[in-house]
């Protein structure tokens, strides 16, 4: 009996060790193989069904190493060099495996010089490639952690660096310490180079300390702590490990170094790459498309591939590229000193890739794409990808969302589908990310317009069309609709930026152009501008803004070419003139329906500046500001429950003489800014000011009490292009020809509004000639009469559009516009172009009507709102009515020249005040509502519970259930899938006795899940059956779900494609949803039922439109341990048990 037990135990050891590819039986050693190279630059082929063990370093560098069978690297020190190595026709290259990581030093050198064309196989030179039906597994030593943060600030000259975590880093290895100062990505010679510093570890005093050569710069290593609410915000420098035991590098001898022609790893369609624990440097091939350090090239859905725990540094082009590839996990990598964009999503048809806990430091200017001149650490062209806990340092942008309208490049010929309308595609998960020392931290704007990397201002308007598509004849009809129709037809799907931090950004911490962009629990510190949202319906909630922290950076005033703060001496944001203020939250351009709520501001001070000993200039600071050009910042923006500590100016309107800023209007809805509930905070323009407004000179503003005259948003645009003559560089000269002048008639208050150029160009005319189309905007007091002069000072427009928005019932505005005698008019209103009523006298004006006073040469327009359109903006009711008129004038002989003296025209005084902007709160936690009977109260954003995985001993236990059938309880772990991440369960399963897969789900918070996805795999990572998308019983597209009870879902095996012989090793569950949500899973079971209980409808489409994630995210561990650790422990115990039996 003892012998059998010993034999069994030893067999178990052998069986487990067989998981190491280099320990498998039937391998032919390279040293004994007849096909090994006998000379330099040979072509070597490993044919199908061959299994070659690379047990020694090859004697010669190779030209090509083609693997159609298996090439397995031994776990022994090896060096190999070649021009290219690739797996093809079912080949498999093994350097370790998931469960057997290689510990030895392995050096791979990629050879070759710049080539003028691609090779026939599409892999190029200096390449490791993976082609259809082939696989590459590279698994270096597991290093923990790959990056961490400082535990305490280190000063210039310091040699000991204390880290947050215990690290396994060794003497002689290389690390990178990130900058925590403002960085200049433009490489301005007046400023020092990047302050991120590479160092070699000289000693290890303890598990959390490394000793290096003296540092050239201070690196901040402390939290920002304190404040009224005891906030603790992590603004510490990152420290990453750049050394790994497997090295892939490009040879830079000959011309390759000067040409920046490095190596690359490339995966084609149908190939699988699993690469972890590898160091790559001198990789990427400058200005050659498709040649990046790690590159998934039109590889399709690759849920079994991943890029983990690698170090990619000193590259010649990019870091990791996802091109036409979806469902890949990119996790815990360290990237440093990239040329151009670093983590790169290419054409826009890449979906559901997971970027988790990656570090990127320093992206340099590059020339492959035009956008590379402003490099981003993370460049994102499809918003459905997921980003968790990544850190981006340096470069023009940390995270740059630059979506083309539809995919470009090789994806431009994709079939027309609404999912490829990328500027409407719902946002993926964006959680816990950090950006610092960049131009802008998190940036949604400057959208891709051409495959050459050209970008232009454009909005992101995420929408869900699931309810609207059935109304169309076919889904592709959606693509033919106008942008306005697309936005109106789709249900807004908020883009949620959650728990993210930005600091030391020379421009903006957060910037989002579009609508329905939400920043929840955001943190902005030491940024030039904390958060700016050009567009509408943005939300900033539960966020913290800190003007200046104790991190003064590295000022180096003795070499600083321009003004920096004097006391304390600190470095200022780069690229801005000294007069530019620092601001916390900014509304910008056409802001309407924006919400700032439950947020706190700290440490915004005006400071005295110095430059080379000269002292005296002042840099202003304000917690809240405005940035606007020709468009209006609407007074329907909402501001609630705001707090200010150590803030000199709660409001600061920069450039107060700007025409648009002069007309700006903010509403202090609950008095938390001014102490006056409902007060209007307006610019310095007299046209928006009444007699009851109080000047606040330090704010460049006036404060007007609640119940003062109501101010509403006014816009004006010409309907057709006009030709004007002048020098386009002489903007003031063109303004004299094109600007809008507004006169308030009862007191002659005046505002000159600069127009926005829609288009201008030079014709072949010998004189400078430009076709221009203008739009204008500001705020105006309602129930008032105005004179408008537009076009130029002597000629009125032949067609134009005028509107006033946000007017509730009973409010009106009148406009007088001069035209020559004999002019006739066509005036329409509403989106259906209904004819406005022409009346015979000014006293008859009412509703949407007009009157032409031929004697005075004045067209009078009357705009009035007769209804209240309550819009539910994040469940807050606001007035969203817009009244407008379209005017077409036919002047005698086509000549609209007019003569008018504004002083001679009189108007009536304003009607009694109408505005009540004071909002009150309902019970705590139930949101906000207007203090009136209109509209219920709803929460803006309902916070969700965040916990950790828990497991118990019930995994794989068998339980008999009463009634219909038997249930085998696989695992009960009360766990959750957050933000669309995958919930994996991993264990051996024999489903043969059963008929159904059963599991429980419930909503923890939010909108629930529209679909729940089920994937199953066997031990070879091959999908079993087919992916199934189950209609969820937990979904609402109207708002958060109140029902949090557990729901049981039973799925028959036939729907999963399983049969009685199926062997399951992994089951993955995930959710698909269009809003913030937490989904909990519990009690995954196999069950037998005689009655089929199916969760999805019978007409469920056979081909899902949305693939789902198949990888876990940091912090969400499966209920069983890491497989490699488990294998090691089982092996140790089996061997120990066997030896004990032998002894006894």
pLDDT tens-digit series, residues 560-581: 456 666 666 677 776 555 668 8
Q: What confidence category does residue 1136 fall into, taking pLDDT thresholds of 50, 70 and 90?
A: very low
In 3D space, the residue among 1137, 1121, 1069 whose CA is nearest the CA of residue 99 turns out to be 1121
Least confident of 22-31, 140-149, 162-171, 1105-1114: 1105-1114
Is the model's pLDDT at 417 over the cut of 60?
yes
* Helix segments in 505-578, DSSP class H: none
Which whole number is the average pLDDT over 467-472?
66
As a whole number, the mean pLDDT across the chain is: 77
Alpha carbon separation from 826 to 270, 836, 868 (Å, rounded): 63, 8, 27
pLDDT digits (tens, 9 = 90+) for 532-563: 988 888 889 889 999 999 999 887 655 445 66
pLDDT digits (tens, 9 = 90+) for 1070-1079: 554 434 445 5
Tell me if 58 sits within 8 A of 36, measured CB to CB. Answer: yes
pLDDT digits (tens, 9 = 90+) for 210-251: 999 999 999 999 999 987 788 899 999 999 999 999 999 999
Q: Of 215-219, 416-420, 834-838, which has the strongest mean pLDDT?
A: 215-219
Q: What confidence category does residue 4 fall into, taking pLDDT thresholds of 50, 70 and 90?
A: very low
Which whole number is the average pLDDT over 428-439?
95
Burial per residue of 736-759, b for 16 or more beta-carbon CB atoms within 10 angstroms, e otherwise: ebbbbebbbbeeebebebbbbbee
pLDDT, residue 1011, reads 58
Angle at 427 between CA 292 and CA 490, to 5 degrees: 130
Which segments of 477-555 are extended strands (E)?
491-492, 495-498, 501-503, 508-512, 514-515, 517-520, 523-525, 529-536, 539-541, 544-546
Q: Across-strand partners of 856?
A: none
Which segments of 574-686 are extended strands (E)?
582-592, 595-597, 600-604, 607-611, 614-619, 621-627, 638-640, 643-647, 665-668, 679-682
pLDDT digits (tens, 9 = 90+) for 647-668: 999 999 887 566 667 788 888 8
pLDDT, residue 762, reads 42
Q: Across-strand partners of 154?
A: 219
This prediction has a pTM of 0.79
Least confident of 47-61, 735-749, 905-919, 1100-1114: 1100-1114
Q: Look up residue 384 and give its two tokens.
A: 């459905």
Is the model's pLDDT at 986 over the cut of 60?
no
Is the model's pLDDT at 10 over the cut of 70?
no
The H or E element containing residue 486 is helix 483-489
DSSP 8-state assignment for residue 69: S
In 3D space, the residue among 442, 454, 571, 588 whose CA is nearest the CA of residue 518 turns out to be 442
User: What's CA 162's distance to the chain center, in Å?
Assistant: 32
């Amino acid at each position: 009996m003892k012998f059998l037990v010993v034999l069994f135990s030893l067999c178990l050891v052998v069986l487990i060790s067989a998981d190491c590819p280099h320990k498998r039986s039937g391998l032919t050693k390279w040293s004994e193989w007849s096909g090994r190279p006998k000379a330099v630059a040979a072509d070597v082929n490993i044919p199908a069904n061959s299994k070659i063990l690379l047990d020694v370093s090859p004697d010669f560098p190779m030209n090509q190493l083609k693997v159609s069978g298996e090439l397995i690297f031994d776990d022994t020190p090896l060096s190999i060099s070649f021009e290219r190595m690739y797996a093809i026709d079912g080949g498999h290259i093994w350097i370790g495996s998931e469960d057997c990581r290689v510990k030895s030093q392995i050096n791979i050198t990629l050879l070759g010089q710049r080539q003028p064309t691609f090779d026939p196989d599409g892999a190029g030179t200096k390449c490791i490639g993976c082609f259809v039906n082939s696989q590459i597994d590279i698994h270096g030593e597991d290093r923990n952690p790959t990056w961490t943060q400082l535990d305490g600030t280190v000063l210039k000259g310091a040699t000991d660096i204390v880290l947050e975590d215990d690290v396994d880093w060794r003497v002689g290895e290389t690390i990178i310490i990130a900058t925590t100062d403002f960085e200049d990505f433009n490489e301005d010679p007046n400023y020092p180079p990047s302050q991120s510093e590479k160092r070699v570890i000289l000693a290890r005093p303890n598990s959390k300390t490394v000793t290096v050569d003296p540092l050239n710069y201070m690196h901040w290593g402390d939290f920002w702590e304190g404040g009224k609410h005891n906030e603790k915000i992590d603004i510490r420098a990152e420290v990453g490990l750049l050394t790994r035991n497997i090295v892939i590098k490009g040879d830079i001898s000959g011309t390759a170094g000067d040409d920046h022609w490095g190596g690359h790893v490339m995966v084609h369609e149908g190939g699988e790459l699993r690469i972890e624990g590898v160091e790559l440097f001198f990789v990427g091939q400058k200005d050659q498309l498709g040649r990046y350090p790690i590159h998934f090239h039109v590889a399709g859905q690759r849920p079994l591939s991943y890029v983990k725990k690698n170090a990619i540094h000193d590259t010649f082009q990019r870091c990791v590229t996802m091109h036409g590839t979806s469902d890949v996990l990119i996790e815990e990598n360290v990237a440093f000193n990239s040329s151009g964009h670093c983590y790169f999503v290419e054409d826009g048809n890449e979906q559901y890739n997971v970027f988790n806990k990656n570090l990127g430091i320093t992206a340099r200017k590059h020339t492959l794409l035009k956008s590379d001149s402003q490099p981003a650490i993370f460049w994102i062209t499809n918003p459905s990808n997921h980003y968790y806990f990544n850190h981006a340092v340096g470069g023009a942008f940390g995270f740059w969302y630059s979506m083309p309208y539809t995919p470009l490049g090789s994806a431009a010929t994709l079939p027309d589908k609404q999912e490829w309308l990328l500027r409407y595609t719902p946002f993926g998960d964006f959680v816990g990310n950090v950006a610092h020392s960049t131009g802008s931290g998190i940036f949604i704007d400057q959208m891709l317009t051409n495959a050459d990397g050209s970008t232009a201002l454009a909005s992101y308007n995420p929408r869900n069309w699931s309810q609207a598509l059935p109304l169309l004849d076919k889904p592709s009809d959606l693509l033919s609709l106008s942008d306005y129709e697309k936005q109106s037809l789709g249900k807004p799907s908020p883009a949620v930026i959650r728990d993210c931090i930005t600091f030391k950004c020379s421009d903006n911490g957060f910037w989002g152009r579009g609508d329905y962009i939400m920043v929840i629990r955001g943190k902005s510190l030491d940024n030039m501008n904390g958060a700016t949202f050009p567009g509408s319906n943005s939300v900033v909630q539960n966020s913290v803004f800190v003007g200046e922290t104790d991190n003064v950076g590295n000022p180096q005033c003795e070499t600083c070419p321009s003004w920096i703060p004097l006391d304390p001496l600190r470095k200022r944001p780069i690229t801005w003139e000294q007069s530019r203020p620092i601001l916390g939250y900014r509304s910008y351009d056409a802001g309407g329906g924006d919400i700032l709520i439950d947020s706190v501001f700290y440490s915004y001070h005006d400071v005295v500046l110095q430059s080379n000993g000269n002292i005296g200039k002042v840099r202003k600071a304000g917690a809240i500001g405005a940035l606007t050009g020709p468009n209006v910042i609407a007074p329907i923006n909402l501001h609630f429950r705001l707090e200010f500590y150590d803030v000199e100016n709660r409001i600061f309107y920069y450039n107060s003489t700007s025409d648009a800023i002069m007309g700006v209007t903010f509403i202090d809805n609950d008095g938390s800014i001014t102490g006056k509930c409902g007060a209007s905070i307006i610019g310095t323009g007299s046209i928006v000011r009444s007699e009851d407004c109080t000047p606040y000179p330090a704010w460049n503003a006036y404060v007007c009490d609640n119940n003062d005259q109501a101010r509403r948003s006014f816009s004006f645009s010409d309907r057709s292009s006009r030709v004007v003559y002048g020098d386009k560089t002489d903007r003031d000269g063109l303004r004299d020809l094109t600007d809008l002048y507004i006169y308030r008639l009862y007191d002659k208050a005046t505002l000159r509004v600069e127009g926005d150029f829609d288009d201008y160009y030079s014709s072949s005319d010998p004189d400078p000639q430009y076709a221009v189309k203008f739009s204008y905007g500001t705020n105006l007091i309602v129930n008032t009469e105005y004179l408008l002069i537009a076009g130029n000072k002597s000629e009125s427009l032949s067609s134009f559009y005028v509107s006033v928005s946000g007017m509730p019932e009973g409010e009106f505005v009148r406009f007088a516009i001069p035209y020559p005698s004999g002019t006739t008019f066509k005036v329409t209103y509403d989106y259906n172009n209904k004819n406005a009523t022409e009346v015979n006298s000014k006293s008859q004006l009412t509703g949407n009507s007009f009157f032409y006073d031929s004697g005075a040469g004045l067209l009078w327009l009357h705009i009035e709102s007769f209804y209240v359109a309550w819009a539910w903006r994040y469940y807050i009711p606001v007035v969203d009515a817009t009244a407008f008129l379209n005017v077409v004038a036919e002047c005698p002989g086509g000549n609209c020249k007019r003569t008018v003296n504004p002083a001679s025209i009189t108007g009536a005084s304003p009607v009694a005040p109408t505005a009540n902007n004071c909002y009150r709160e309902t019970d705590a936690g139930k949101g906000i509502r207007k203090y009136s009977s209109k509209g219920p109260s709803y929460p803006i954003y309902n916070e969700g519970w965040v916990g950790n995985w828990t497991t118990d001993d019930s995994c794989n236990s068998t339980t008999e259930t009463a009634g219909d059938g038997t249930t085998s309880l696989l695992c009960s772990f009360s766990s959750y899938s957050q933000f669309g991440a995958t919930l994996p369960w991993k264990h051996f399963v024999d489903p043969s006795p059963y008929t159904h897969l059963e599991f429980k789900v419930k909503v923890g918070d939010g909108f629930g899940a529209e679909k729940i996805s089920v994937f199953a795999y066997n031990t070879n990572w091959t999908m079993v059956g087919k992916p199934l998308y189950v209609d969820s019983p937990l979904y609402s597209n109207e708002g958060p779900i109140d029902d949090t009870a557990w729901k049981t879902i039973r799925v028959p095996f036939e729907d999963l494609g399983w049969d009685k012989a199926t062997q399951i090793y992994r089951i993955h569950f995930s959710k698909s949803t269009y809003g913030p949500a937490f989904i909990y899973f519990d009690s995954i079971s196999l069950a037998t039922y005689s009655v089929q209980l199916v969760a999805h409808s019978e007409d469920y489409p056979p081909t899902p439109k949305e693939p789902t994630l198949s990888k876990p995210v940091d912090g969400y561990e499966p209920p069983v341990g890491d497989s490699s650790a488990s294998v090691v422990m089982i092996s140790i115990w089996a061997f120990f048990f066997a030896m004990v039996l032998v002894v006894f």
